[in-house]
Amino acid sequence: MSAQAIRNAMTIDVEDYFQVSALAPYIGRADWDTRECRVERNVSLILQMLDEAGVKATFFTLGWIAQRYPGVVQDIVAQGHEMASHGYGHERASDLSPDAFSQDIVRAKHLLEDIGGQPVLGYRAPSFSIGASNPWAFDRLARAGYRYSSSVYPVKHDHYGMPDAPRFAYQPIDGLLEVPPSTVRLGQRNFPSSGGGFFRLLPYGVSKRLVQRVNEADAQPAIFYFHPWEVDPQQPRIPGIDAKTRFRHYVNLGRNEAKLRRLLKDFAWGRMDEIFLAQQSGARPEAVQGVAPRGQACAGTAAQVG
């Protein structure tokens, strides 16, 4: 498959600025309802950007947001995008017991389906918090009716990551596909190439080349992600946060919208379900050729990620 023919997955993690995991030490969960919520404005802007670029995307949405702002969910679905789950209350999967995790993902799924009127097939754990410590989460996702996850980030990071996980789509258990955020292999390490803070930090040309490398060198779709608060330089500033968190959260917020608009035009993009899940006709997913069977790395990547 040529790079020009590859359709990449554009994903948005729908949470507000005060729900970011790195800000949890400074903003108590009990205070969320007292904060100025910016998600309606920001999702509206993102929908406009996607419409202008002719792109359909996947929105991994918090149940907490859906319950309070059902119009956000309805607008996303009405414009032809995929509604997927980010859990209910942005609790890291690795911080929950198996039963508490099940309650969270089932509650979110039911809320999103009831409001959006469409099946919810995909899930992304807050802070990519499925890894070596909680592989039981895959079984709980399958039992809850999810068909794919995008929750294992094959990088080394201070907040998340499983560096030895496969870099591309694989089946951790029967009936569930794991589609990791994109990385590039440099030397003996995987480096993020899928958005978030790295996209805000790096010059656009570098980020563009990283996506191209996934398409050209690996012949795989890239999985890109960002958050609604990352197009909102006017969001309230949180006082008293440490320098590292302040830099990570606020770096280049004022430039990100323009960079995202360029990215949307420079590549072909689509929804996660349409790229990675088989259609009702029974056709194979367009990008899951060579999906690794249960317990194995993706074909051609085992030596790279081992």
Q: Parse the chain into domains and list their residue ranges.
A: 3-305
pLDDT at 162: 83
What tokens were used for 237?
Answer: 């500033």
pLDDT at 3: 53
Give tens-digit pLDDT for 242-299. Answer: 999 999 999 999 999 999 999 999 999 999 999 999 643 344 444 443 344 333 333 3
Q: Mean pLDDT of all residues in the chain?
A: 89
Nearest one of 23, 10, 144 to 88, comparing CA atoms: 144
Instruction: Identify the burial level of 36 via C-beta atoms within 10 angstroms of its C-beta, where 0-12 means exposed, 13-18 middle and 19 or more buried.
Output: exposed
Q: Are strands 8-14 and 223-226 parallel, antiparallel or unpaired?
A: parallel
pLDDT at 4: 58
| Whether 49 contacts 81, CB under 8 Å | no
Model-wide pTM > 0.85: yes
* Residue length of the chain: 306
pLDDT at 158: 57
User: Three-state DSSP class for 231?
Assistant: helix
Give tens-digit pLDDT for 40-60. Answer: 999 999 999 999 999 999 999
CA neighbours closer than 13 Å in the CB half-sphere of residue 260? 31
pLDDT at 155: 82
pLDDT at 192: 86
| Whether 276 contacts 157, CB under 8 Å | no
pLDDT at 233: 97
Nearest one of 129, 127, 109 to 119, comparing CA atoms: 109
Could you tell me the fold of the domain covering 3-305? Answer: TIM Barrel (3.20.20)
pLDDT (tens, 9 = 90+) of the chain, 306 residues, equals 445 579 999 999 999 999 999 999 999 999 999 999 999 999 999 999 999 999 999 999 999 999 999 999 999 999 999 999 999 999 999 999 999 999 999 999 999 999 999 999 999 999 999 999 999 999 999 999 999 999 999 987 656 668 889 999 999 999 999 999 999 998 888 888 899 999 999 999 999 999 999 999 999 999 999 999 999 999 999 999 999 999 999 999 999 999 999 999 999 999 999 999 964 334 444 444 334 433 333 333 322 222
What tokens were used for 234?
Answer: 């006017």
Nearest one of 150, 17, 124, 12 to 76, comparing CA atoms: 12
Residue type, 296: Q
